[in-house]
């Protein structure tokens, strides 16, 4: 038996309804702030991600689905959305438009990871990018929009982690300082931290052993090393969030997957999730467009995982759509009337279905009841009533709520239902 590939899943109709609802929230919340939808291809030149995400990142090192297109070009299934959107911004000369260019997206992304709850090989992200603005308001607006989306999506127990990364130069200097500090206190660190001082000094902040924790209390923090302008930018973002009543935790160890983040970085986590607690995050990436051979262009954005939002929300699927009318067939004579009637009903704005199987009339009524139909029109019943020629136009209309049933004509069915459901 062939099964869905490891790390993928089918979106069954009940799940699809929840996803559509969430997409509607995104369209409304982001649309209201002037963000416009963009779609980019599912695969891109591999080089875009190597340069746009960063050669040294986990994504590029380990998580990409890369293949040859058969003509010697290397392509990669997109692992994230920001680099492709920056490519599109450059390719379509969007720097000539009024800035910032505000875009949002929702689509499938691919990462070769070990599958587990909340971590898949094909997953969906919704994201927003504001390209061409350097102001702290842009960062704060983006954060507030994601907070609103998570709230609308019903995500429970969220925490916002916030930090600033300054510039890559500040970061490099800080890293050297931290490495030197860890070296000077090496004998007090856990073996695990001590052996990784050069590889990932920041991880020392996450250590749980008493010795390392003690050392890290007094360790230099990147936030204390920011250049004056970067520190001012960060203070402005924080003030805006404070005014907006958005609470956050300063997290000096927050590192984001992309190499080109500058200044503001943030991540929303939910305690309703297990180990994979990150729901969405992002930050400012002022160097990225230039890195991709575009004009120097400041930018900021975020991406959130649809599956994790739904997991963290744990909400039941939305109620199924009501069915206004089910057209049942008493005899094959009624086929054309049934077909026409259900189509006319849909064109009149009703939710209408017709019998598509060969059920007995009793079976059809049971089915209509099961799908929650408010009215059932029984057609093809003329012959049994002794009406000449089978009377294609004669219909028996049953109100499923009251149980009342009466004979009418096909022409009268739709007006009667419209009066009944919208009195």
Instruction: Map the footprint of ligand ATP across residues 265-294, applying CB under 6 A.
Output: 276, 278-281
What's the closest the beta carbon of residue 130 comes to ligand ATP, in angstroms? Answer: 17
What's the closest the beta carbon of residue 281 comes to ligand ATP, in angstroms? Answer: 5
**Site for ligand ATP contains 119 (CB under 6 A):** yes
Among 40, 57, 76, 125, which residue sits at the site for ligand ATP (rule: CB under 6 A)? 125
* H-helix or E-strand spanning residue 59: helix 58-62
In which region does residue 356 sit, left (phi positive, over 0), alpha (psi from -120 to 50) or beta (all else)?
Answer: alpha
Pairing state between β 323-329 and 373-379? parallel
**Nearest residue to 154 via CA among 362, 317, 326:** 317
What's the closest the beta carbon of residue 262 comes to ligand ATP, in angstroms? Answer: 16
Nearer to ligand ATP, 127 or 382 (CB): 127
Q: How far is CA 338 from each of CA 268, 369, 381, 406, rounded to the nearest angstrom?
A: 52, 18, 11, 17
Instruction: Map the footprint of ligand ATP across residues 300-329, applying CB under 6 A.
Output: 303-305, 307-308
Whole-angstrom distance, CA of residue 420 vs CA of residue 297: 58
Whole-angstrom distance, CA of residue 411 vs CA of residue 42: 49
Binding-site string for ligand ATP from residue 74 to residue 113, where x marks contact by CB under 6 A and - marks none: ------x------------------------------x-x
Q: Which stretch binds ligand ATP (CB under 6 A): 70-78, 195-203, 299-307, 394-402?
A: 299-307
Sign of CA dihedral 183, 189, 194, 197: negative
What's the closest the beta carbon of residue 362 comes to ligand ATP, in angstroms? Answer: 47
Burial class (CB in 10 A: 0-12, 13-18, 19+), 9: middle
**Residue closest to ligand ATP (Cβ):** 305
Count of residues making up the chain: 423
Q: How far is CA 28 from the centre of its chain?
A: 13
Binding-site string for ligand ATP from residue 230 to residue 269, where x marks contact by CB under 6 A and - marks none: ---------------------------x------------
Nearer to ligand ATP, 116 or 405 (CB): 116
**Residues in contact with ligand ATP by the rule CB under 6 A:** 80, 111, 113, 118-120, 123, 125, 257, 276, 278-281, 303-305, 307-308
């Amino acid at each position: 038996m062939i099964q869905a590939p490891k790390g993928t899943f089918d979106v069954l109709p009940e799940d699809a309804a929840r996803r559509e609802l969430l997409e509607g929230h995104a369209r409304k919340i982001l649309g209201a702030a002037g963000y416009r939808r963009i779609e980019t291809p599912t695969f891109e030149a591999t080089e875009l991600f190597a340069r746009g995400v960063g050669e040294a990142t986990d994504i590029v090192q380990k998580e990409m689905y890369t293949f040859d297109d058969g003509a010697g070009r290397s392509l990669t299934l997109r692992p994230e959305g920001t680099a492709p959107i920056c490519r599109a911004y450059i390719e379509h000369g969007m720097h000539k438009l009024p800035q910032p260019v505000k875009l949002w997206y929702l689509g499938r992304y691919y990462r070769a990871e070990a599958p587990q709850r909340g971590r898949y090989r094909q997953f969906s992200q919704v994201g927003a990018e504001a390209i061409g603005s350097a102001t702290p308001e842009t960062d704060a607006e983006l954060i507030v929009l994601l907070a609103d989306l998570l709230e609308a999506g019903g995500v429970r127990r969220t925490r916002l982690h916030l930090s600033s990364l300054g510039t890559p130069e500040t970061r490099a200097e800080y890293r050297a300082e931290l490495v030197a500090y860890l070296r000077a206190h090496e004998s007090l660190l856990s073996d695990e931290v001590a052996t990784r001082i050069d590889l990932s000094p920041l991880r020392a902040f996450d250590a749980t052993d008493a010795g390392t924790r003690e050392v890290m209390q007094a360790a230099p923090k990147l936030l204390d090393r920011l250049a004056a302008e970067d520190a001012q930018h960060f203070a402005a973002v924080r003030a805006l969030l404070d005014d907006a009543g958005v609470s956050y935790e300063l997290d000096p160890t927050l590192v984001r997957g992309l190499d080109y983040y500058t200044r503001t970085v943030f991540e929303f986590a939910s305690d309703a999730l297990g180990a994979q607690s990150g729901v969405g995050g992002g930050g400012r990436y002022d160097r990225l467009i230039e890195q991709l051979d575009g004009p120097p262009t400041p930018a900021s954005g975020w991406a959130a995982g649809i599956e994790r939002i739904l997991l963290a929300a744990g909400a039941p699927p939305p109620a199924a759509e009501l069915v206004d009318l089910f057209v049942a067939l008493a005899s094959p004579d009624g086929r054309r009337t049934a077909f026409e009637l259900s189509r006319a009903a849909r064109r009149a704005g009703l939710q209408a279905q017709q019998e598509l199987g060969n059920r007995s009339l009793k079976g059809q009524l049971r089915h209509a009841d099961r799908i929650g139909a408010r009215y059932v029109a029984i057609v093809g019943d003329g012959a049994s009533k002794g009406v000449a020629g089978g009377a294609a136009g004669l219909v028996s209309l049953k109100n499923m709520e009251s149980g009342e049933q009466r004979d009418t004509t096909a022409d009268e069915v739709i007006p009667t239902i419209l009066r009944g459901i919208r009195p």
